Amino acid sequence: MKRFLIILCLIFMGSAGTVVDIAAQDLLIRNARIVDSNGVIERGNIVVRDGRIALIGAGAIASGLTEIDAEGMSAMPGFIDGHRHIMGRNFEQESIVRMQQFLDAGYTTLMEGGGRPPDIVELKRKIADGELVGPRIITSGRADPGNFPTPEMARAQVRVLADAGVDIIKARIEAEDKAVLEAIVDEGRAVGLEVMVHAANVPAMIAAVEAGAAKLVHTPHNSFMTPEHARMVAEAGIENLSTVGFAVPLFDVYNNDNEPTFRNGAPWPEEILGTGSNAAGEKVVNARTLWDAGVVYGYGTDSGYLPKYGLAHELKTLNLVFSPKDLVKLMGPNTAAFVDMEDEIGTLEAGKLADIVLLGGDPLEGYWNFLDVKMTIKEGVVVSDQR
């Protein structure tokens, strides 16, 4: 509780404009089970200097460092959510306070799934400048053909978003929007921005691939994919995110009476069946089809509710068709590739940023151990300690 109150004080000091004084520490993490997509090191050590991993392995050691004894714990790369709705209606009261909840859940990187400039850009700045403690933010802005229905209008919106300073463009499309999306992608290239596409069904996904989109933020539903569809995505070199928990019922997030609800609190399954979709089943099958075709398939929740609930909900759904070993790759290097940071995060390797999560159990025993976060380290700074 004391730790939490101290962090809250730092958060609100930061929101008032005071720089939060947290510096990267030189650390020696000892006796950890080190788990990433490269394999497992039993009883390994990690040396952190200047915010980066300097040494890692069974014999990695250095003197004069702040030591963390990770006996009985597993070290993983910091979690990344490639499709998270961060911005609340009240920027100060919701979004800023929630940053510590993300860190406590193990997240060190978040890509906003279509936030509002300038608020999301300002949130990124506050964290980058040390005015606020939180995961690093990758910003986006919307250029949906539904709101900008002609190529000329869509191009103009891309330029507006580029001037606002976002990192990537997001566009929600249907198959018939292909021509407008082509204009968005072309204008994005002109201003140096990639385009990630909300394509919720297979025809829209195919249109996005043909239009030259860089990324797909959803696993399609409304029909089952064919292996040929999945190979089309793989051959185009387009990364895809999960969001498979979209249609699976939630419990005790919006109510306490053990009634299943859709993620917005609406009744389940009526909210899904009313669309004529069997999305809960289609998404997980399509997820595995994409994975087996060689698509770089990463992790995204498309959620706006509490971070740990979002993590638990997405993982329990992915668990239907992915092994724990798959999840380590999916959440690590694959999602790092989606956010274009695979050279910096996603695996625990010398030279990479020291984004590290210490878990109370072995993630290879089951997804539930991903939820037992004991410590989160971002760029060599202990930003959450729940031991």
The answer to whether 205 and 177 have CB atoms below 8 angstroms apart is no
pLDDT tens digits for range 82-102: 999 987 666 666 677 789 999
Q: Whats the size of the chain, residue-wise?
A: 387
Residue 356, burial from CB neighbour count under 10 angstroms (0-12, 13-18, 19+) = buried
The 3-class secondary structure across the chain, one letter per residue, is CHHHHHHHHHHHHHHCCCCCCCCCCCEEEEEEEEEECCEEEEEEEEEEECCEEEEEECCCCCCCCEEEECCCCEEEECEEEEEECCCCCCHHHHHHHHHHHHHHCCEEEEEECCCCCCHHHHHHHHHHCCCCCCCEEECEEECCCCCCCCHHHHHHHHHHHHHHCCCEEEEECCHHHHHHHHHHHHHHHHHCCCEEEECCCHHHHHHHHHHCCCEECCCCCCCCCCHHHHHHHHHCCCEEECCHHHHCCECCCCCCCCCCECCCCCECCHHHHCCCCCHHHHHHHHHHHHHHCCCCEECCCCECCCHHHHHHHHHHHHCCCCCHHHHHHHHHHHHHHHCCCCCCCCCCCCCCECCEEEECCCHHHCHHHHHCEEEEEECCEEEEECC
CA distances from 250 to 261, 265, 285, 317, 319 (A): 5, 8, 20, 11, 16
64: Cβ contacts below 8 Å, ≥ 6 apart:
26
pLDDT: is 14 or 216 the higher one? 216
Per-residue confidence (pLDDT) for residue 5, from 0 to 100: 36
Between helix 97-104 and helix 2-15 the angle, nearest 10°, is 140
pLDDT at 260: 85
The yes-or-no verdict on residue 21 having pLDDT over 80 is: no
Identify the weakest region by mean pLDDT among 4-18, 247-261, 291-305.
4-18
Beta strands 107-112 and 79-84 are parallel
Is the pLDDT at 204 greater than 50? The verdict is: yes
| pLDDT class of 218 with cuts at 50, 70, 90 | very high
Question: What average pLDDT does the segment 296-304 reach?
Answer: 94
Question: pLDDT grade, residue 14 (50/70/90)?
Answer: very low
pLDDT confidence bin for 269, thresholds 50/70/90: confident
- CA separation for the pair 96, 15 (Å, rounded): 8
CATH architecture of 2-76+348-385: Roll (2.30)
Q: d(Cα 148, Cα 163) in Å, to the nearest integer?
A: 17
* Whole-number Å distance between alpha carbons of 83 and 199: 13
What is the per-residue pLDDT for 7? 40
pLDDT of residue 263: 77
Tens digits of per-residue pLDDT, 315-358? 999 999 999 999 999 999 999 999 999 999 999 999 999 999 99
Instruction: Read off the amino acid at residue 282.
Output: E
Range in 23-37, 253-267, 347-361 with the lowest mean pLDDT: 253-267
* Predicted local confidence at residue 96, as pLDDT: 73
pLDDT at residue 268 above 60? yes
Q: Please provide residue 224's backbone torsions phi and psi, each rounded to the nearest 5 degrees.
A: -90, 140
Q: Is the pLDDT of residue 299 over 60?
A: yes
pLDDT of amino acid 11: 38
How high is the pLDDT of residue 51?
97
pLDDT at 197 over 80: yes
pTM of the model: 0.92
Averaged pLDDT, 204-224: 96
pLDDT of 179 reads 98
Give the Cα separation of 161 and 168 in Å (integer): 9
Q: Does residue 308 register a pLDDT over 80? A: yes
Contacts of 255 (CB under 8 A, 6+ apart): 261, 265
Whose CA is closest to 166, among 134, 143, 200, 185?
A: 143
- Encoded amino acid at 109, one letter: T
Residues of the chain with CATH 2.30.40.10: 2-76+348-385
Per-residue pLDDT reduced to its tens digit, 144-177: 999 999 999 999 999 999 999 999 999 999 999 9
Q: What is the pLDDT of residue 281?
A: 87
Domain 79-338 top-level CATH class? alpha beta
Residues of the chain within CATH 3.20.20.140 domain(s) are: 79-338
Q: What pLDDT score was predicted for residue 9? A: 40
- Residue 78 is predicted with a pLDDT of 98
Mean residue pLDDT across the chain: 90
